Structures are given as C-alpha cells and as structure tokens.
Amino acid sequence: MHDAKSLIIEYLAALSGRPKEQNSVRQYVSDEGLAKHIAEVEAAFPRYEILTEDILADGDKVVVRGEFRGVHRGNFAGVQPTGKSVSAGLIIIYVVEDGRIVNHWMQFDLFSLMEQLRAAPVSQTA
C-alpha cells in the first residue's frame, strides 16, 4: 500500500513523457473526469509531460505544482495540429483513496498554451 504522495510520484513517473494507454491510466485513476481529460490531452499532445516543481501532501490530498510540456500533434480546443512545442504552468490537487486517484482539481494556464498555439511562426530574415 502506498501513501498518497508516493502514489502520485509513481503515477507521474509512469505516465509523464510516455503513452497514456487506458490500462496504464486505470492502474492509478478511478476519477472518470480525469481519465477522460488525460485521453483528450494525450490525443492532442502525445506523450506529454508533467514536470513537477513541488509536491505537497496532507492525508489523502496531494498538490502538484509543475509544468505541462508537449508537442501539438492533434486537434485541441478547435486548433488544428501545429507541430509546436508548448508549455504551461499548472497546479493539480489529487485525492487518493485505496491506492487510486478518485478526484482532482486543476488550475492550468490555458491562456498561455493557446497563445503559443496561435502565435504566428517567427519569420526568417536574411
């Protein structure tokens, strides 16, 4: 049996920067909303990473402050794939029960991400 913080560390190590196949996700996640979110983001940013800056735990709650990084390879929020590498800050609070994530809350810098996706490419001048 893992404590909540150890489980989240293991979960992030197992999925960050790797394919998020349903069986792998389900090993750690019973929260349907989070499982759906992971699948949608994975479709747009295959093998995306969450790089942690801080992990704090209190009982069954674990807070992760970090950075999302990915390459835009699928449709996301109405934006067709751009092939751009993007990053954005995030804070996620996970609730862990019986060795799985049962709930979460996320603050994500979607504005920054969308700005990066919509930004015109830098022109090359000779």
Q: Report DSSP state, residue 78.
A: T
Across the chain, what does the average pLDDT equal? Answer: 92
| Position 86 in a domain | yes
pLDDT at 121 over 70: no
| Position 89 in a domain | yes
Q: Name the domain count of the chain.
A: 1
pLDDT at 111 over 90: yes
* Maximal CA-CA distance, the chain: 61
Query: For residues 66 and 89, what is the distance between their CA atoms, to the nearest angstrom?
Result: 6
| Position 88 in a domain | yes
pLDDT digits (tens, 9 = 90+) for 24-38: 999 999 999 999 999
pLDDT at 45 over 80: yes
| Position 93 in a domain | yes
The pLDDT of residue 2 is: 72
| Position 22 in a domain | yes
pLDDT band at 126 (very low <50, low <70, confident <90, very high): very low
Backbone angles phi, psi at 101, to 5 degrees: -80, 120
pLDDT at 1 over 70: no
Query: For residues 12 and 70, what is the distance between their CA atoms, to the nearest angstrom?
Result: 15
Give the CATH number, domain containing residue 29. Answer: 3.10.450.50
Query: For residues 10 and 27, what is the distance between their CA atoms, to the nearest angstrom?
Result: 11
Backbone angles phi, psi at 82, to 5 degrees: -115, -20
Q: In the structure encoding, which two tokens stand for residue 2, read together? A: 């893992």
Give the range among 104-108, 111-115, 122-126 with minimum mean pLDDT.
122-126
- Structural domain of 74: 4-118
| Position 82 in a domain | yes
| Position 125 in a domain | no
pLDDT band at 86 (very low <50, low <70, confident <90, very high): very high
